Structure 1
Amino acid sequence: MAAPFVVYGASGSGSVPIEATLSLLDLPYRVEDHAPWEGQAQADRLARINPLRQVPALTLPTGEVMTESAAILIWLADTYPDARLAPPLGDAARPAFLKWMTFVSSAIYALYWIADNPARVVKEGADHVAVKARIYDRIACCWGEMGAQLRPGTHLLGDELSVLDLYVATASRWSPGRRRFYEVAPGLADAVRRIDTDTRLAAIWQERFPFEPGWER
């Protein structure tokens, strides 16, 4: 029997779309919870997996470790093409898929490294609230740009679910929150809500990113 995948992450974090993908692919995996934002000890536990002390990371059955959420999701989708979780090479939707996967990673997700701890770049604690507000404005702006350019079908890239849907459904729940996401990118709302209510993902959402009362903020 092949070794299972090992996901390093935490509830509500960027590991959730990876866990959801593995679940949809019906691949064996286990999760090791690490929340580096909870303190240096937690962060240091990750050093042997990812020297940047960040999640998510994924150990493959070969023992190789992958980091970077977008790269992991693209790799999983391309490695198991029969599941059709990404447009294949040569498909007309492939350029848009790669564009938006990297856009979410670089233009949106990367900003949380500062938002989670503004002291990493701003010394004065009195300025941290303003810094976070500006970052959340920038994130909303980026979601708005994505909404202005994409014309979803049933899902974000047409009528088939892709790992992009899982990525956006997770990241759009982080601050500034889903309500603002709906305001700036209303054209994406139905496709993302469809992922929220996909029965195949119900157990993952309940366990790893539950929809608590008032979650849309």
Structure 2
Amino acid sequence: MLLQLQPAKLIKRYKRFLADIEFTNGEQTTIHCANTGAMKGCAEPGDTVWYSTSANAKRKYPFSWEITVSKDEHFICVNTLRANQLVEEALHKDLITELSGFNLLQREVKYGNENSRIDFLARYNDAPDTYIEVKSVTLLESGHGYFPDAVTTRGQKHLRELMDMVAQGHRAVLLFAVLHTGINDIAAADHVDPIYAKLLKEAQQAGVEIIAYKAEFSLKKGELNISLDDKVPFITR
């Protein structure tokens, strides 16, 4: 994925979807933040942020926060919309070996008993359908990555749905897209959402596959290339 970006300094994030930034000339503006999480460690005042510019003249906030460069010089993709885009690109390039070889890939398919939509539904010849749920990981603590970074009842629902798919004879995969260069392994954040952590362990025991792939970042003269092709371990605690 190639993005055209511009740098600025973060002043503060607020109201979940907004952030104030300062340009290099000292002017300030408000940008959109497509991230509903806590963004712990990803939104510290003074951090360098990289933003994209929308061509849609009707948008109230034409700039979108894409990347944070932390004080430790870690690259963090904070736009959670990018996770599914990166996964889709990686799937079509067969970079995620556990999910390669499909005949058909569909996005946002309705399924389950709790009125959900699966991120991707993959079909492989005569094999059972594969339901793929994508989660973006950006929480780094004590050298390890964790999910979630806030209590997520929606994520809990998705785990129940995936377990139901396995019970019905399908294949279910929880795919963590690690969008933080400082994260080299991940685990369930039971200190953040113990219910989610418990459900995740139950899901794994029920046959839901858990895999994680990390993004690589390359930034040159405002052009950012991101690819999801580096597998990292999921640690069961």
More helix by share: 1
| Greater RCO structure (CA 8 Å; 6+ sep) | 1
TM-score, scaled to structure 1: 0.38
TM-score, scaled to structure 2: 0.35
